Structure 1
């Protein structure tokens, strides 16, 4: 036979038994010598696959596993009427194929040698089938595997589609960045990942609560954005028996397409399909709108009230004792000139012609009091006065709904007027949904009513930053700081925008002022520490970076994010604390093994500390292979070679690094030092002089360059005298 059956490099995994159980068990029927039933046991009581086993069978399996040592747990075993075949080929993978519904007498006749051969054959065939359901480029499951998983019982799960676009322009760079994204997603998402091609990934997570899904999506986008991806979009939809796997995937793709229209870093969920009917700001039926239009057509001003029992309805549903209350007939409580219009059993619109805003507010409060006295209900009332800046008559209906949402932040039964703050509340709703463009429109509309409002300006700036309009965002935060120089959120957000605009000094100043604010004690997030730590390292203020990151660790403990340890490693290395740097970088690679920055820094430190030259250079090479577009990896390898006295090789790496980043002063300094040590004094002199003449040269490299020029001048004098 010319070719052997392919075996996946990763071997058989625990997730394979969950996702690929259907094709694997069909294949098993051909391998077993007798008819039998079978299933996968993962030694996890929460696993859905264990439902096929009886309590007695599970008890036998648990008893065998608890008594078996590590060696025996890897060999097939006959437990009376059960045949247990271990399949885990990866480290710490406890997955077993359990065969049952077989005559115990037949099982007793199976020799151990034959069972071991059967085990090898099953693992080989299963791994071959696994390749059919695996994407060869990413080692993730493919679309076929996703369809199999979606066809199983939904079980309160949510499908997430994640679209990523790396910020590269070359095919090689795009390929490298895609592999980095693959590794990063694996470190961020615990559930099995599916690759659908062209930077599109899927995950089925055991979360169904919408707020939890939104939180998961926002955090995932933030982490991917931090790693330099140009565009990230997420669409998610809860799974149900209503749709087939193909229909579910198609719906989620439509949701993802809407997320792509919303901005470079946006999300969308299945509410997109029902937003016209069920969105909090949805208009009522066209017939009701036409009725209102007839009544307000010739009015110069009017008031519109929305009486809502939504909170009462929600309370009754939670208690589940009585029928949810409906909105009573309000006509006996209304003036003769008004008109009432039923939207649904829980909401009514009331038109009050020719009312001033002050009169309208008084009537709304009186109406709430009358309803409470006569019905014992406690409705919320949101009202809008027309004319209002930037609002047409039909928009008044939406404005009342926004006022009702605004009222939900107060105790039950609040009466709230639609105002600029209502726009802030509605904008926040769109922002949480990932619709940043609509959120921006809401915040701007609020600013037309109340120019210079601090909350609206802060919210607008954050939304603009989410779609990469950082100059406009920075201008918003600056306006806030003109009014409130110690506004914590404005300081932090302006710092973020300044950093992305390439103004590190301003960013550091904003962050440091923010840390000095009183609010910092209660609102400090790890993102602030990471961004400021990164800036300190960029400005070569490594001691401050170490102190800052250690402060976070002492206050909150070690985080689970690899970037904290990567930054700590860079800060410790720059501060000369190599052993602490090695520990931090090793921890970073445990969380995210493919991170090129951690690899190249750890490789350099291994060489500098004589902890393995070959391993150190190998780590540097792996970093260059993974991310050849980053000049720092080449520079660090050159540093390692320079330490080993391999100056010619080091010079080649330095030249390659400078092709990618021309005016990096550290790399220029190393090139000049290498020329000096190789005896090319004229080139070394030119190199040191170039560093001195750089406009943005920092203190330490400039000082070392001046010392280098002095050394060369002395050597040239000695050479001329001799």
Structure 2
């Protein structure tokens, strides 16, 4: 599905927007196997559903060998799985399967308690790491757990290894609310908003006070147009931590969308007071103050936004619009010039820059090109059309001034 809501050039803020984080998202997600119902997933799912597990409990682990491993090392890993399971009574206490050339899934059930099971798994991990001289990535889930079925526990282990992947090889993570947040984020990234909501809701059932999950639910409901529900989750998150800037910003954006500008500005100023160097906060606050004709108040926020994110064409474009209103053509031209370089398809910047060149009576042919392009990009915008006419008139006047025959004819 496509989102039923956008806020022009502003987006809701999620934790993965923070590029300063040392934790990096994986290049590929194992949870995709669940959503795509891959052949490897389906084959092992069927084995897991049909196998007899006497005590009705098991541990499911997904293990990936580092991408530096050779084919010989991978073959050795398979041999270790086989011998480890044989040591547990002739393969009657577990099953395993390859998921791809570097990843394996393992289910075992002959253990007395959770601690014993984890000790067994840690011993396998250590044995493989020692024998192969390479690091592993491991995701773990257990059955029974909550109301999850056998196949869902397999899926949970895949989500857990995605969780572990954020920390890199050598790490193991157990399925929890964060695993579901990551799985939800992946679905959100793919545009599957309704499915993402379900993941976040499952995560919140495990971690009822997790602010990231509440924020993620608010964002999902926001982009699908359910702003009241979005607001409910953002406010619930702020009840837990009133100084969570990300959530304050999102609540401010929601207020802006429903045209409660005063509340939006109030919230964004609060966010700015907590951390004055967040690009999204500074850009939206500057934009709203500009719309409210508070030009001098808007400029510092836009300047900060441009400093924090030098590639933001919008920050420079709005500054250009402010300088135009303040009748500062040189500063307006410099701002629009930067905006157009960063985004050559921004009709507002193109039109504004054309107007500045017309006012200064310079580079009118370039001004004409920019004005025509702005109208082509936004044909229904009357201001852009008026500016185009103004450039055309300026060119005609200049041509007449340069043509002696026209001068004599007019005389």
Does the CA contact (< 8 Å) of 2:265 and 2:288 recur in 1? yes
Cα displacement (A) at 1:337? 12
Residues 562, 591 of structure 1: 8 Å contact kept: yes
Q: Is this contact kept in 2: 1:604–1:617, CA < 8 A?
A: no
Cα distance, 1:471–1:629 mapped onto 2, change above 3 Å? farther
Conserved 8 A contact 1:570-1:601:
yes
CA contact (8 A) 1:427 1:439 kept: yes
1:585 corresponding residue in structure 2:
336
Confirm or deny that 1:531 pairs with 2:319.
no
Q: Secondary structure at the match of 2:198?
A: helix
Q: Compute the displacement of 1:593 (Å).
A: 5.7
- Looking at structure 1, the residues matched to 43 and 147 of structure 2 have their Cα atoms a distance apart, in angstroms, of 21
TM-score, structure 2 as length reference: 0.69
Give the conservation status (yes or no) of the 8 Å contact 2:58–2:144. Answer: no
Q: Is it true that 1:396 corresponds to 2:153 in the alignment?
A: yes
Per the TM alignment, residue 456 of structure 1 is displaced from its structure 2 partner at its CA by 1.1
Whether 2:57 is the aligned partner of 1:302: answer: yes
Matched, 1:291 2:50: yes
Aligned position for 1:549: 302
Q: Per-residue CA shift, 1:350-402, capped at 9, x if unaligned?
A: 342797xxx32442134313662598356555433334334223211111222
For 1:351 and 1:322, the matched residues in 2 are separated by 23
Q: 1:360 pairs with 102, 114, 118, which one?
A: 114
2:9 to 222, 226, 237: 226
Distance of aligned partners of 1:311 and 1:457 in 2 relative to their CA distance in 1, 3 Å threshold:
farther
Matched, 1:507 2:264: yes
Which of 163, 181, 190 aligns to 1:406? It is 163
Q: Residues of 2 paired with 1:278 and 1:516: CA distance?
A: 52
Determine which of 561, 564, 573 is the counterpart of 2:324. Answer: 573
- Post-superposition Cα deviations, 1:248-289, rounded to whole Å, max 9, x if no partner, equal xxxxxxxxxxxxxxxxxxxxxxx89x943378xx34445413
Stretches of structure 1 lacking an aligned partner (at least 5 in a row): 1-163, 168-221, 229-270, 641-722
Distance change (3 Å), C-alpha of 1:445 and 1:596: same
1:204-224 deviation line (CA, Å, top 9, x unaligned): xxxxxxxxxxxxxxxxxx9x9
Q: Following TM superposition, by how much is the alpha carbon of 1:637 offset from its aligned partner in structure 2, in angstroms?
A: 9.3
Instruction: Kindly indicate whether the alpha-carbon contact (under 8 Å) linking 1:492 and 1:510 is maintained by their aligned counterparts in 2.
Output: yes
RMSD: 4.4
- Alpha-carbon offset, residue 514 of structure 1: 2.5
The structure with the largest strand share of the pair is 1
Q: Alignment partner of 1:540: what SS?
A: coil
* 1:304–1:385 Cα contact (<8 Å) kept: yes
| Deviation of 1:567 (Å) | 0.9
What CA distance in whole angstroms lies between the structure 1 residues aligned with 2:196 and 2:182?
10
SS of equivalent to 1:376: helix
Question: What is the SS of the residue equivalent to 1:485?
Answer: coil
CA contact (8 A) 2:306 2:316 kept: no
Structure 2 runs not aligned, ≥5 long:
12-31, 392-411
Local SS of the residue matching 2:148 = coil
> Are residues 573 and 335 of structure 1, via their aligned partners in 2, closer, same or farther at CA, if it must alter by over 3 Å?
farther
- Write the deviation string for residues 416-447 of structure 1: whole angstroms up to 9, x where unpaired: 33221221122233334443333222111111
Q: From 37, 40, 46, give the equivalent of 1:276.
A: 37
Contact 2:336 2:349 in 1 (8 A): yes
- Of residues 362, 369, 374, the one that matches 2:123 is 369
Using a 3 Å threshold, how does the CA distance of structure 1 residues 383 and 360 change in structure 2: closer, same or farther?
farther
After superposition, residues 117-516 of structure 1 pair within 5 angstroms as 226=9, 275-277=36-38, 282-285=41-44, 287-292=46-51, 294-295=52-53, 302-306=57-61, 308=63, 310-312=64-66, 314-317=67-70, 322=73, 325-327=76-78, 328=80, 329-331=83-85, 334=88, 339-344=93-98, 347-352=104-109, 359-369=113-123, 372=126, 376-377=130-131, 381-410=138-167, 412-516=169-273
Greater relative CO, 1 or 2 (CA 8 Å, sep 6+): 2
Report the secondary structure of 1:304's partner residue: strand
User: Which position in structure 2 is the counterpart of 1:155?
Assistant: none
Report how many residues are paired.
358
After the TM superposition, which residues 39-188 of structure 1 pair with which residues of structure 2 at under 5 Å, given as runs?
none
Correspondence for 1:627 among 378, 385, 391: 378
Aligned equivalents of 2:9 and 2:389: distance in 1?
Answer: 27
Q: CA deviation at 1:596?
A: 3.9
- Range moving further from structure 2, 430-439 or 623-632: 623-632
Q: 1:444 to 1:325 in 2, by over 3 A?
A: farther
Map Cα deviations across residues 42-82 of structure 1 (whole Å, 9 max, x no partner).
xxxxxxxxxxxxxxxxxxxxxxxxxxxxxxxxxxxxxxxxx
Given that 1:364 and 1:415 are in contact with CA atoms closer than 8 Å, whether structure 2 keeps it comes out as: no
**SS of corresponding position for 2:140:** strand
- Kindly indicate whether the alpha-carbon contact (under 8 Å) linking 1:585 and 1:602 is maintained by their aligned counterparts in 2: yes
Post-superposition CA distance 1:285-321 (Å, at most 9, x none): 45413433x436xx6x52322252x134x2314xx88
Compute the displacement of 1:636 (Å).
7.7
Task: Determine helix, strand or coil for the equivalent of 1:295.
Answer: coil
Q: CA–CA distance in 2 between the matches of 1:461 and 1:384?
A: 27
| 2-structure distance, mates of 1:480, 1:575 | 40
Measure the CA separation in 2 of the matches of 1:583 and 1:474. Answer: 39
Task: Report the alpha carbon displacement of residue 340 of structure 1 after superposing the two structures with TM.
Answer: 0.7
Distance 1:465 1:421 in 2: 21
Change (3 A) 1:404 1:634: closer
Larger radius of gyration, structure 1 or 2? 1
SS in 1 for 2:247: helix
